[in-house]
Amino acid sequence: DAMVIQNPRYQVTQFGKPVTLSCSQTLNHNVMYWYQQKSSQAPKLLFHYYDKDFNNEADTPDNFQSRRPNTSFCFLDIRSPGLGDTAMYLCATSRDPGQGNYGYTFGSGTRLTVV
């Protein structure tokens, strides 16, 4: 059974039209991450939540925002998508770092195409 679920699996949006991607988890993990992965590249961390604490990477564009209303859900909002935002967006979770490092659990990703 999937433990990190991303919806939708595929999303096409128009240039400049706001879009929201969602992620839910059944693992009760403290930390949730959003990564952007462009074609044939390694995933790039956009931001993460440690419980309710939001941590933005220094080079994440302001166009990208996130919300975590509760432990189970986390959303990625792209306010005005550009063509360069076409990518796979990956959500991941991990346990509290103080409990040891068990690696991440990734969702299947949302492939976003901006046209």
Residues that bind another protein (CB under 8 A): 4, 6, 31, 40-43, 45, 48, 50, 90, 92, 94-95, 97, 101-109, 111
Query: Could you tell me the smallest distance in angstroms from the CB atom of residue 22 to another protein?
Result: 14
Q: Which is nearer to another protein, 57 or 82 (CB)?
A: 57
Instruction: Give yes or no for a contact between 5 and 91, defined as CB atoms under 8 angstroms apart.
Output: no
Q: Which is nearer to another protein, 5 or 13 (CB)?
A: 5
Per the structure block, which two tokens stand in for 15?
A: 């240039």
Query: Could you tell me the smallest distance in angstroms from the CB atom of residue 88 to another protein?
Result: 8
- From the number of C-beta atoms within 10 Å of its C-beta (0-12, 13-18, 19+), residue 110 rates as buried
Q: Which is nearer to another protein, 3 or 18 (CB)?
A: 3
Q: Residue 31 contacts by C-beta under 8 Å, 6 or more apart in sequence?
A: 48, 49, 50, 93, 94, 95, 96, 97
Q: Which is nearer to another protein, 82 or 106 (CB)?
A: 106
Query: Could you tell me the smallest distance in angstroms from the CB atom of residue 113 to another protein?
Result: 13
Instruction: Give yes or no for a contact between 83 and 114, defined as CB atoms under 8 angstroms apart.
Output: yes
